[in-house]
């Protein structure tokens, strides 16, 4: 078996002394998509944030290890972590516009992030971005490049944020409900971009969603969290077809039957 991109080994996570994630153990191989589901407050975002050291001042991993390509990321210095973030590990959020700078164009933000992590001139960044926009079906990539986030729809901002991730080609993408704020059409485009990223660059993706329909469309594995504990973890086709836990059955029952049919 190849080395895991990321492996959680018996991880506990606390905020201000309160344990909110317990004994999390799972791993992702290159090119694997892991769907993480569970009710609000169950610890899904906390799981993602711990990988990038984004738990905030009160948060900490208090037990276990998180290995990124064999490195213990909890033992990394701040500089070591900064080197990983962006270049090898990237994150996208539910509200893409909120994670973009409101007073700068998409193009200038892409150039800035590329300058921090890639050895590539501005013209080349622009050329590759426009090429990706076109390949991904943006009919007016030049306008998107020159636009401010408020001039674009939520779905367009999310897709622009993903194009930036594609330029960086990280080994791991942490995606926290990237499709939850989108209509069905934009949701499909974003899922297609995730699949493209995985297929072209072998990026492994941890995808938090509350939508089992999204899980059934793209996930290879599923992890179900309840009250900070992983109660079910396995290949998506098995978990979706015959969930072992009553809780997973309830999550599935909330999805109309048609949307559960796998592609
Ligand atoms: N910065 C923080 N400080 C203190 N407690 C926090 C912080 N962030 C999250 N928590 C708590 O940790 C627990 C898990 O929260 P988390 O945000 O990971 O849940 P979630 O599964 O992502 O929920 P949602 O589906 O609503 O996004 C909750 O009890 C939450 O109140
Ligand atoms: Mg969350």
Q: What is the pLDDT of residue 136?
A: 83
Q: What is the pLDDT of residue 119?
A: 87
CB burial of residue 12 (10 Å; 0-12, 13-18, 19+): middle
Q: How far is the CA of 209 from the centre of ligand 1 (A)?
A: 14
Q: What is the pLDDT of residue 254?
A: 77
Q: How far is the CA of 225 from the centre of ligand 1 (A)?
A: 12
Ligand 1: nearest atom to the Cα of 49: 18
**What are the residue ranges spanned by the domains of the chain?**
6-96+169-260
| Tens digits of residue pLDDT in 160-214 | 999 999 999 999 999 999 998 888 888 999 999 999 999 999 999 999 998 999 9
Distance of CA 248 to CAs 40, 54, 89, 224, 230, Å?
A: 14, 28, 29, 7, 11
Query: Which ligand is in closest contact with the Cα of 20?
Result: 1
Q: Which fold, 6-96+169-260?
A: Rossmann fold (3.40.50)
Q: How far apart (Å, rounded) are the C-alpha atoms in residues 176 and 54?
A: 13
| Tens digits of residue pLDDT in 108-158 | 999 998 888 888 899 999 999 999 998 888 889 999 999 999 999 988 899
Query: Which ligand is in closest contact with the Cα of 18?
Result: 1
């Amino acid at each position: 078996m190849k080395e895991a991109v990321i492996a959680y080994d018996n991880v506990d996570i606390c905020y201000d002394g309160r344990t909110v994630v317990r004994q999390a153990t799972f791993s992702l191989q290159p090119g694997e998509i892991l769907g993480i589901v569970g009710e609000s407050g169950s610890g899904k975002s906390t799981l993602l944030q711990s990988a990038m050291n984004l738990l905030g001042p009160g948060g900490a991993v208090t037990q276990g290890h998180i290995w990124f390509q064999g490195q213990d990321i909890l033992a990394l210095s701040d500089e070591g972590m900064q080197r990983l973030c962006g270049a090898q590990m990237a994150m996208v959020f539910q509200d893409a516009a909120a994670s973009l700078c409101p007073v700068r164009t998409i193009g200038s933000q892409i150039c800035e992030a590329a300058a921090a992590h890639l050895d590539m001139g501005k013209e080349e960044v622009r050329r590759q971005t426009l090429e990706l926009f076109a390949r991904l079906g943006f009919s007016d990539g030049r306008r998107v490049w020159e636009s401010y986030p408020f001039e674009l729809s939520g779905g367009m901002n999310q897709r622009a944020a993903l194009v930036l991730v594609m330029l960086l080609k990280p080994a791991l993408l942490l995606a926290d409900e990237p499709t939850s704020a989108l209509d069905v059409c934009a949701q499909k485009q974003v899922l297609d971009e995730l699949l493209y990223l995985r297929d072209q660059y072998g990026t492994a993706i941890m995808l938090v969603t509350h939508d089992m329909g999204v899980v059934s469309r793209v996930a290879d594995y599923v992890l179900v969290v309840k009250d900070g504990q992983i109660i079910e973890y396995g290949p998506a086709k098995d978990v979706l077809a015959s969930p072992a836990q009553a809780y997973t059955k309830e999550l599935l029952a909330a999805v109309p039957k048609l949307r559960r049919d796998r592609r």
